[in-house]
Structures are given as structure tokens and as C-alpha cells.
A and B are shown apart, each in its own frame.
Chain A
Amino acid sequence: SQQGEEDPQALSIQEGENATMNCSYKTSINNLQWYRQNSGRGLVHLILIRSNEREKHSGRLRVTLDTSKKSSSLLITASRAADTASYFCATDVTTDSWGKLQFGAGTQVVVTP
């Protein structure tokens, strides 16, 4: 079963626009992570936000976390064609803290030139 649910399932934007996707989850978490997956490639780690953090930035990426609403958002600013990929949120919920991740079904982002 998948812990997270991403919204929207698909997103199509033009280069230079911002892309926002959301993730909701069900149980308490240690941290929430966002990954990117290009066609035919493995998952690439983008950013990790701990349960006691509310916002984090990395380059053109901004992640927020609201544990009271059990939700997170990923914002990609000034998108590029190379940002075309599927984006997954993943939550670490293990009580013994060894890093098992539960993924959502992902948001497919297409950035057109």
C-alpha cells in the first residue's frame, strides 16, 4: 500500500513557469523526501525535510511541510525542459529508524520549451 498521494497526477507547463505539486500522507513521519525519476533512469534524491522543519530550499526547489495537515508541497521555480520527469514524495515512518520509505504514485511533469 502507498502512504503518500501526490496531487496533481500530471502537470504540463511552459519553460519559465513555476510548478507546484502536493503530497498528502497518513501516519506520523520521521522525515519526508522528494525524488525525481526521468524516463528510463533511476530515482534521484532531491531534498529531505525533517518532521520538525517547515520549509527547505535547494536551488530552484522549495519544499514545505505541514505535519498538522500531513501534507507537503514541492515548488520548482523557473522550470526548464530538463525538469520533465515524474516526481515522488516518500515518507520515512519507521519507528526503529532505519530509513524504509513509503512512496506515493507520483506527479508527471512535462515542461515544454
Chain B
Amino acid sequence: GAGVSQSPRYKVAKRGQDVALRCDPISGHVSLFWYQQALGQGPEFLTYFQNEAQLDKSGLPSDRFFAERPEGSVSTLKIQRTQQEDSAVYLCASSRQQGMNTEAFFGQGTRLTVV
């Protein structure tokens, strides 16, 4: 595709509900990142994949958060038993290769609201 695609764009979940957020990176991009952006703040790193391997999940806020990228392309971020503090925009980014000085391309994000 032309860019990083995320779905859904908006999600309203009742507290306690499980949600799944999808990211379609740019075709052929090796690296994939998930970030969480609270209102009025900059994005915060959640997790990183190199192909299908999850190399860093240090930013996941709790064990309710789980991410996967089983075939090294599409990724899913799952949040179990959602809480109000999970309300945020979840951004996915991909880059062509591993390595510093490589531009990351961001999707438009999924805005999650937990009520």
C-alpha cells in the first residue's frame, strides 16, 4: 500500500472489554513499532518488531497489553480488560530496515476511548 494503514480509526470500548487494533505496514518494511499517545502528549514507545520477532516490549504498560506480528507483515495490538487509563491514540510505524538514521512512517492511528 501507499502508507501505513491502521484500523479501526476509532474504537469505543466498555471498561473490561478486550480490543484488537490492526496495523498494515508499508509492504517490505522490516521494522514495525507501536506507540501510545495520550491527549496533549507526545507518543510513548510500546513495542518493536523486526520481521516477526518482537525484540523489545519494554514499553508495554501492563500484562494486559499484547502485540504480535506472526508473518512479519500485519501486526495486532491487543488490550485485555480495558481500563479508562488505556484511552489514547495508538500509533503504528514502519521502516524499511533495521538501523539508525532510517525514517519511520506513521499511520493515522487508532483512537481508543474506554467508557
Contacts and interface: CB of A to CB of B under 8 A. Distances in A.
A92 B42 contact: no
B109 A42 contact: yes
B42 A30 contact: no
Interface in B46-62: 48, 50, 55-56
Contacts of B41: 2, 105-106
Contacts of B55: 98
Given A42-B108, A42-B109, A100 B33 contact: yes
Contacts of A94: 100
A99 B102 contact: yes
Closest A-B pairs by Cβ, 4 of them: A103-B42, A30-B100, A43-B106, A42-B108
Interface stretch (A14-22, A44-52, A65-73, A74-82): A44-52
A62 B106 CA distance: 22
A31 interface: yes
A98 B48 contact: yes
B40 to A, nearest CB: 7
8 contacts: A30-B101, A48-B101, A98-B56, A98-B99, A99-B31, A103-B42, A104-B42, A105-B40
Contacts of A31: 100-101
Interface of A: 2, 4, 30-31, 33, 35, 40-45, 48, 50, 88, 90, 92, 94, 97-106
B77 to A, nearest CB: 15
Contact of A99 (B40, B100, B106): B100
A9 B107 CA distance: 24
A48 B35 CA distance: 19
B18 interface: no
A103 B104 contact: no
